Structure 1
Amino acid sequence: MGCCCSSERSQDGNQGFVNNHILAKERDAISLLLHYLDNRDEVDFFNNGPLDALTTLANSKNIELQRSAALAFAEITEKCIREVSRDTLRPILFLLESSDVEVQRAASAALGNLAVNSNNKKLIVEMGGLRPLIRLMQSDNVEVQCNAVGCMTNLATHEENKSIIARSGALYPLAELARSKDMRVQRNATGALLNMTHSDENRQELVKAGAIPVLVSLLESMDPDVQYYCTTTLSNIAVDPENRKKLAEDQPMLVNHLVKLMGPENSPRVQCQAALALRNLASDSGYQIEVVQAKGLPYLRALLESTPVPLVLAAVACIRNVSINKANERFIVNEGFLPPLVHLLDVSENEEILCHATSTLRNLAASSEQNRVEIAEAGAIEKIRARILNVPPSVQSEMTACLAVIALGDAPKNTLFEKGILDVLIVLTHSTNVEIQGNSAAAIGNLSNKASSYNAFVDHWLSPSGGIRGFLITFLKSDETMFQHIATWMILQLLESDDKRLRKLLMESDEIVKSIKKLTQLTPVEGTPSTDSQANGTSTNGSATSTSPSTTTTNNNNNNKEGNNSTSTTPAKEDAGSGAAAADSNQMISQRAVPQLARKAYAILTEKDKRSSR
């Protein structure tokens, strides 16, 4: 809530009402008001007689009476904040138009007090309250500025007011007042700017008003409230790609400032918003590199290892985006992020933290075989195995995608088998969530590629949940081309292995053979790849190429709702390769590959029959 500077009654107290040039009705109003003030605990000042008396004094041409009315409104509203009628607001708005500084100060304080109530916020704007407030924000009097800006801050917390304020011309004086030497004005102005970052349209208006340079300069403020408001506002501004581009061009020290604000000498809420701002900036590859170059990793790791959930969430969301850039991945591993990330998989109950931590490990695993080995050695496989069946679908999707990428490596395969990962992956191929199904199957498929031993596949042929056989049949019969692709590709891998047991099991499964035969009859789309090539596609991470058909995972869009009732829009960055474009590409690959893969597999499956017929 915007604060209002104090408005005190005149030194003469009630004697301030005395004036020689007072009309009879004004004298009556004074007398009544004094009576009401003496019995204020029993009086409703917003209705009937008390309000009539205040209105009479507010409309007086006598400046002293106007001051008295304004002071009375300020005093009353300071102690009684509730929804009021147009009749109550009308005299206060009239007083805002006064040229007298004392009247302006008290009236703006009263309006700011009433603007705490949600219904009043809307009504004040509907009654034209913005215009006089904008004028008062440009007053030479600091007290008037403070109250006017405080009122505007409160009004800007109402959703229906935000776009109206953005188009009213208020942002220009607000941006200017954010530079004020008076800390109260500065706090109110930066708080108001924060509340205006709710929508793309409002953020663009804020940028046009020249707010960015002011906000960046105030990151070095010694006031924690100003730091918080400015950091959060910049975080919200950084949601938009065009704004990130502008920030990159015009504010070369922004990342350095934000990294510094993650330090332990700052308040936790400032640290949190600094990490979230860097997270939004790191939606772009240039900023991903810059966070590392600015030595932000040690600060992020410290926040990751802290206790408060908001700090951990902000840090892990940021490192997730930073880890998308392949150039950063070794720096992240060397900085010691693997143990705390794996630890979060074990202890955190927060869905978003689990998603971000798992996705970060997936990004790192996609970079190199060395990373996959180190992730396995850090205990990630055991932690995922222990929790994956009991976490929300969004986390299951990320965990299965991570396992699919880890399974790309030759070295971690044995660990995956030893930890019993097939027990959970097979179950999850029957999930009602298509992404979880696909990711689980892709992980099993990657495990089937050039495994040193196929004992686990034989042992799990019929169980759990129908085993390998059951999931292959389900996927072969699926209407999802991607699922058909995964199944036919995996069957071909198993057939081309040296394990005679698996070949026998496949050949003896009538349902598998019939389903494969049916897929051979599909008409390949133009551009079908040669059957000698593997069904390649981007992995679930997108920064590595999987030898199995890929699946596409979705990412959570997280809204950080903090700060002066504003909405901080901070969506997570989609990992490279995910999203509609990747899905369309994968679908096309599958449509081309399935018939060819099925024909090759069917030829192997029916070799015995062909030899017998000859």
Structure 2
Amino acid sequence: MATICDLCKQHLKNFKEMLERAAENLLEIIKEFFKKIQCCSCLKRKRPEPNHLYKPVLQQHEKEAAQEFLQLIEEASENKVIDVENLKVLQTLAASENPSLQQSAALYYLHISEQLKSELPEEYLEPYYNLLQSSDLEVQRKASLSLTNLLMEGNVNKETVVQIGLLEPILELLGSGDVTVQCNSCAIIATLAMSALNRETIASEGVINPFLVLAKSYEPRVQQNAVGAILNLSKSEKIQLLLCKEGALPVLILHLQSPDSEVQYYSCAALCNIASNPRHHQSMIQIGDGILLKMLLSLMSSPVEKVCCQACDCLRNLSLNEDIQTDIVARNCLAQLRELLKFSNENGNEAALGLLKTLSENQSNMDAIVSENILHTLGKLLLVHRASPGISYLAATIIHKLATSETQQAIVDSQCAVALLQVLNYFSIDSESLLHVAACIAELSKHETIRTQIIQELDVNKIVHLLMLTNQAENNDLSFQAGCIICNLGVDEMFTFLLRPHTKEIVAYILHFLRHQEIRFQHLGLLTLRNLNKDSHFVAMFDESEFTVQLRRVCQQTSETQELLQAVFFHKEHQKDK
């Protein structure tokens, strides 16, 4: 057998080493390939991935821009982060193919986002297009973070960002394999979607599904910002329909169990927005055999205030559907509301009262509400938050709904009427809450047992304030409700006795109502006059000529009205006979 020479042996050795190097390089190439695929943004990136064998040549104008940039960094102060020279440099650096120069531009934008106190000029947004589309990950991170900061601080107009075309590169970053870039791009879209003008433009780009995917991310920051973006988009009725079609409901409902309270809140708020449209109610309830109601009722006990409030608001919207409302009441919701109202948290109380108000509008729930002793809780709540317009308005409206002959003893026991009398002095004349409190007291004073309690609680200050409310020319409805209270209380002799020191004000009040242009005021004035005429003290006062003249005028008006009505009915009957 022939033997090979030393030279051939060397060639074979070299060939073997070359194969080993090739195999090693091939392994690295395969690793690099899979790394790129994993980080791929669905082939939407317009610029190619960086070629490590290619190093762009630094152009002369880029060298000059870099030197100038360094000088600007050294000389820049908080008051001079924005000027024309800076912009020219940033435009040059951002457009460069050299990642280091782009990173410098991105870093400066990050500096701007932390220093700027005023609005960023629109032309400064243009370099972002190149930076956001950079193939360098660090550039993407810094650029997206700085834009997030500027939007959050209100240094950039949200509509302008979309109008100049930055939405496209931002949406491309949603597909990044980098958690930081995903987090920042989600935050940008969430902030842009706060603008009503931007929402439908964003939704038209097909972002619903990508956001639903990111909402399932294992990275808490990405998940939080993705659900936050869905929340802001859900404020549009058109987008609510898209969210339901794209399968957002199961994702949002699932996130109600999230350990992250922010994700819970965003999901609950988005569901609340969707529930504001009754057309979606059935779809929401059908998921998981009604699991949504169970989760929302559970969140009412959340220690996080805004989550608890949002759960109540969502249930309130869903309860506009009678079948769902029946289910909510059957699930022991009223007992939970009673417990929630015992806490002195104003926001939580308002949210709970909002839900209770909707439930109280259904006559079939009245017995259940009264039997849960919620009236007693409302009485205490009014005393604790007597200066809160929201709580006073809602509580007064609920009590008004519940006031019947059958519930008057429960209202007396709850001290609700006493609390409402105290609240009466806390609001300005033009307050809607004051009107509802007065209307509620007027309704309560129709019932004998409650009327007796109200009269026992009256003192000089309350009577003077009540009489003052009857003379509000700027607020006719409030004036009328205050008159109703006096008229209803006037049935009781004890009240007329309490009014004796205020004869002058009573006369002025009745004359004011008798002279009023509206018949309802004239009628109420006559009723009050009739009730107070039972007291000899007032009989003498009402015999004065001014009263006589005014009563004759009202009588004449009534006679003329009767004649006109008779003429109208006679004409109708005559036409029928023909």
Q: TM-score, normalised by structure 2?
A: 0.74
Tell me: CA distance 1:207–1:434, structure 2 relative to 1, closer, same or farther (3 Å).
farther
Tell me: CA distance 1:43–1:503, structure 2 relative to 1, closer, same or farther (3 Å).
closer
Residue 243 (structure 1) shift: 4.8
Tell me: CA distance 1:400–1:525, structure 2 relative to 1, closer, same or farther (3 Å).
farther
Aligned amino acid, residue 121 of structure 1:
N
- Which sits farther off after the overlay, 393-402 or 504-513? 504-513
C-alpha RMSD over aligned residues: 4.0
Tell me: CA distance 1:43–1:31, structure 2 relative to 1, closer, same or farther (3 Å).
farther
Report what 1:362 is aligned to.
400
Whether contact under 8 Å (2:95, 2:102) holds in the other structure is no
Residue 155 (structure 1) shift: 2.5
Instruction: Return the alpha-carbon distance in structure 2 between the equivalents of residues 77 and 218 of structure 1.
Output: 36
The answer to whether 1:118 aligns with 2:118 is: no
Matches within 5 A, 1:242-321: 242-243=279-280, 247=284, 252-264=290-302, 266-321=303-358
Matches within 5 A, 1:201-600: 210-243=247-280, 247=284, 252-264=290-302, 266-348=303-385, 349-365=387-403, 368-392=404-428, 393-420=431-458, 423=463, 425-432=466-473, 433-447=475-489, 453-454=492-493, 456-457=495-496, 460=499, 463=502, 466-467=505-506, 470-487=508-525, 508=543, 510-511=548-549, 513-523=551-561
Tell me: CA distance 1:39–1:405, structure 2 relative to 1, closer, same or farther (3 Å).
same
Per-residue CA deviation, residues 62-110 of structure 1 (Å, 9 max, x unaligned), is 4x34653465356535644453334432222123234565554443233
Give the match's secondary structure for 1:118: coil
Instruction: Return the alpha-carbon distance in structure 1 between the equivalents of residues 187 and 488 of structure 2.
Output: 59
Aligned amino acid, residue 437 of structure 1:
S
Instruction: Return the alpha-carbon distance in structure 2 between the equivalents of residues 248 and 489 of structure 1.
Output: 52
Tell me: CA distance 1:457–1:50, structure 2 relative to 1, closer, same or farther (3 Å).
closer
Residue 517 (structure 1) shift: 1.4
Aligned amino acid, residue 95 of structure 2:
N
Give the match's secondary structure for 1:128: coil
Tell me: CA distance 1:516–1:335, structure 2 relative to 1, closer, same or farther (3 Å).
same
**Percent identity of equivalent pairs:** 27
Tell me: CA distance 1:118–1:520, structure 2 relative to 1, closer, same or farther (3 Å).
same
Tell me: CA distance 1:87–1:401, structure 2 relative to 1, closer, same or farther (3 Å).
closer
Q: Which of 228, 232, 240 is matched with 1:191 structurally? A: 228
Structure 2 gaps, min length 5: 1-51, 570-578
Instruction: Return the alpha-carbon distance in structure 2 between the equivalents of residues 347 and 383 of structure 1.
Output: 9
Give the match's secondary structure for 1:340: helix
Whether contact under 8 Å (2:377, 2:414) holds in the other structure is no
Report what 1:151 is aligned to.
188
Tell me: CA distance 1:36–1:440, structure 2 relative to 1, closer, same or farther (3 Å).
closer
Higher relative contact order (CA 8 A, sep 6+): 1
Structure 1 gaps, min length 5: 1-15, 529-590, 593-614
- Which sits farther off after the overlay, 386-395 or 26-35? 26-35
Per-residue CA deviation, residues 160-194 of structure 1 (Å, 9 max, x unaligned), is 54565455554553344323332211111222233
Tell me: CA distance 1:234–1:502, structure 2 relative to 1, closer, same or farther (3 Å).
farther
Give the match's secondary structure for 1:369: coil
Report what 1:609 is aligned to.
none
Instruction: Return the alpha-carbon distance in structure 2 between the equivalents of residues 359 and 176 of structure 1.
Output: 44
Give the match's secondary structure for 2:455: helix
Tell me: CA distance 1:211–1:486, structure 2 relative to 1, closer, same or farther (3 Å).
farther
Whether contact under 8 Å (2:496, 2:532) holds in the other structure is no
Instruction: Return the alpha-carbon distance in structure 2 between the equivalents of residues 259 and 103 of structure 1.
Output: 46
Instruction: Return the alpha-carbon distance in structure 2 between the equivalents of residues 307 and 466 of structure 1.
Output: 39
Instruction: Return the alpha-carbon distance in structure 2 between the equivalents of residues 43 and 142 of structure 1.
Output: 34
Instruction: Return the alpha-carbon distance in structure 1 between the equivalents of residues 478 and 360 of structure 2.
Output: 22
Aligned residues: 504
Q: Which of 211, 217, 225 is matched with 1:174 structurally? A: 211
Per-residue CA deviation, residues 273-317 of structure 1 (Å, 9 max, x unaligned), is 222333444455445444432323343333322233222222233
Q: TM-score, normalised by structure 1?
A: 0.70
Aligned amino acid, residue 363 of structure 1:
K
Whether contact under 8 Å (1:121, 1:158) holds in the other structure is no
Instruction: Return the alpha-carbon distance in structure 1 between the equivalents of residues 504 and 247 of structure 2.
Output: 61
- Which sits farther off after the overlay, 38-47 or 24-33? 38-47
Tell me: CA distance 1:167–1:118, structure 2 relative to 1, closer, same or farther (3 Å).
farther
Whether contact under 8 Å (1:187, 1:226) holds in the other structure is yes
Tell me: CA distance 1:526–1:298, structure 2 relative to 1, closer, same or farther (3 Å).
farther
Residue 226 (structure 1) shift: 0.6
- Which sits farther off after the overlay, 206-215 or 380-389? 206-215
- Which sits farther off after the overlay, 116-125 or 154-163? 154-163
Report what 2:573 is aligned to.
none
Instruction: Return the alpha-carbon distance in structure 2 between the equivalents of residues 284 and 116 of structure 1.
Output: 38
Instruction: Return the alpha-carbon distance in structure 1 between the equivalents of residues 215 and 346 of structure 2.
Output: 31
Report what 1:72 is aligned to.
107
Whether contact under 8 Å (2:515, 2:550) holds in the other structure is no
Tell me: CA distance 1:203–1:306, structure 2 relative to 1, closer, same or farther (3 Å).
same
Per-residue CA deviation, residues 466-514 of structure 1 (Å, 9 max, x unaligned), is 32x554443333222332344456667889xxx5969967994524641
Whether contact under 8 Å (1:73, 1:110) holds in the other structure is no
Residue 223 (structure 1) shift: 0.7
- Which sits farther off after the overlay, 217-226 or 472-481? 472-481
Per-residue CA deviation, residues 217-256 of structure 1 (Å, 9 max, x unaligned), is 2111111111111222333444445455664566833332
Give the match's secondary structure for 1:21: coil
Per-residue CA deviation, residues 26-61 of structure 1 (Å, 9 max, x unaligned), is 344444445656777789665455544443333224
Instruction: Return the alpha-carbon distance in structure 2 between the equivalents of residues 45 and 466 of structure 1.
Output: 68
Q: Which has the higher helix share?
A: 2
Matches within 5 A, 1:17-36: 19=55, 21-33=57-69
